[in-house]
Structures are given as C-alpha cells and as structure tokens.
Amino acid sequence: MKPTALVAGNWKMNGLASSQAELEALANLLKEGGTADCDVLICPPFTLVAAFAAASAAGIAIGAQDCHTAKNGAHTGDISAEMLKDAGATYVIVGHSERRADHGESNDLVKAKAEAVHAEGLKAIVCVGETEAERDAGRTLDVVLGQVANSLPAAATPSNTIVAYEPVWAIGTGRTPTTDDVAEVHTAIREALNERFGAAGEGFAILYGGSVKPSNAHELMAAANVNGALVGGASLKATDFNGIIDAYRN
C-alpha cells in the first residue's frame, strides 16, 4: 500500500486569533491552485485548535503539537488527546526535537503519548532526528533508528501513525541535508518499518522536516521514501506553505 503524502505545518509557539486570516488565505490558494496529490494539515498552538477546526475548509485538517499521556487528571498546564479531539484536532505531533530537548522527553514517553493519541482515534506524527554532534560523529542512523524502534507503539499502523524525520541541525537554520542524505535516512527508516511491521511497513508515511521551503520542496519531496513534509516557519505564511504543496501538483 502506497502511503498518502502529507504536507503538515507546525506553527510552534506562533499565532494569535488574527492568524485565522492565514488559514482562510490558504484555503483560497488551495482552491485556486487545483487538486494536490497530498493531504494538508496545520498544527497551530493549543489556543487556536478549536477556532481553526471550526473554520477550516475542506481539504485542510487541524492538529495539535503535543499531548499528555493521561486522559485527564491533576496535570496543571497539560492537555490530553481527549481534549484535543474534543476541540476538533485529528492529528497530534509527539516527540518533536524541541520537546525532547527542552522538556527532556524520552523515547518511552513519546511512545506513551502516541498510545494516548491512538486511544482517542487520532493520528500520531512521531518525530525523530539527530543532532549536529550526533551527525558529525557518524551516528545518524543509530540515533534515528533507535528513536523509531523505541518511540513507535506496537499497535502503530499506517492509518494511525506517521513518522517525521527532522535532522535537529536543519530545523530553522536554513541548512538542509542533500537529497541523497535525506533518501538514505528515509530508506533506512522504511527498511526498519518493514522489518518490524511486515508488509504494512510500506504503508507508513515518512515526512521530511528541516528548513523546507518552496525553493527546495520539489527536490526534497522527490527523494526516495519521502512522503511529504513537516514544515515549520514556512507554514506560517499561506503563500509559502502553498508553494511547498505545489510539489504535489502536476
């Protein structure tokens, strides 16, 4: 089964109520641009999930950037997958490198969060990626494949889980690995998924993230085993995000 490509925008800690204008602008650009052979997703901050879900046009899904492992309870400042589902989210990003680095999230915790996402019938986007030091030490595949092995739940399937490879050193820096580098890592991830999940491994979408922009999207999206993009800063402007989606238009 060939994966359905996905172009996802991670807004991180950006966006106010006025940002709904960008959502509406994107919807108009998608309509004007015609059909793209990919799904489109925006993951705004928690404060905008419900409003974006209510306003989102057909063809644009709304997701969230994190969740707690518990369904509810005494967890001040956290949010559950159940709450996100109630707000209208259909995807949740877990294990982003900024969560792993800033909050010390382990593979086990990321897996537990993905399981919480699955329990609500939502799709988990599980992020993996190496730091610059790990890459310079020649440990890219060891690190990334270790994260894949230990962050994905046993019950992961192509319908409830997406893997996103983001080399930490390329996020927001303007630096991008070569397409050969990207293909090498994505192919290794695919092989690991096939080994673990059998034939179903071919159905998992594997996204690339890290300084993706309109000028390099076509080349990156054409690399082997790349099934879409997880986009940071370039997803904040409808025209830039649409320019990346163009990689999936004929």
With pLDDT > 90 as the criterion, what percentage of the chain qualifies?
A: 92
Number of domains the chain is built from: 1
- CATH code for position 173: 3.20.20.70
Q: Which range marks the domain in which residue 216 is found?
A: 6-248
> Which SS3 state, helix, strand or coil, does residue 41 take?
strand
Query: Which amino acid type is present at position 102?
Result: D
What integer pLDDT is reported at residue 175 of this predicted model? 81
Report residue 86 as tokens: 């109630």
What integer pLDDT is reported at residue 56 of this predicted model? 85
Q: Is the pLDDT of residue 162 over 80?
A: yes
On average, the pLDDT of the chain sits at 96
Would 1 be classed as within a structural domain? no
Would 43 be classed as within a structural domain? yes
**Rounded mean pLDDT of 187-196?**
98
Report residue 171 as tokens: 């996020």
Could you tell me the pTM of the whole model?
0.97
What integer pLDDT is reported at residue 49 of this predicted model? 98
Would 122 be classed as within a structural domain? yes
Give dist(CA 189, CA 239) in Å, integer. 31
Would 57 be classed as within a structural domain? yes
Q: Is the pLDDT of residue 20 over 80?
A: yes
Residues designated as active site: 96, 166
What integer pLDDT is reported at residue 214 of this predicted model? 97
Would 187 be classed as within a structural domain? yes
Would 27 be classed as within a structural domain? yes
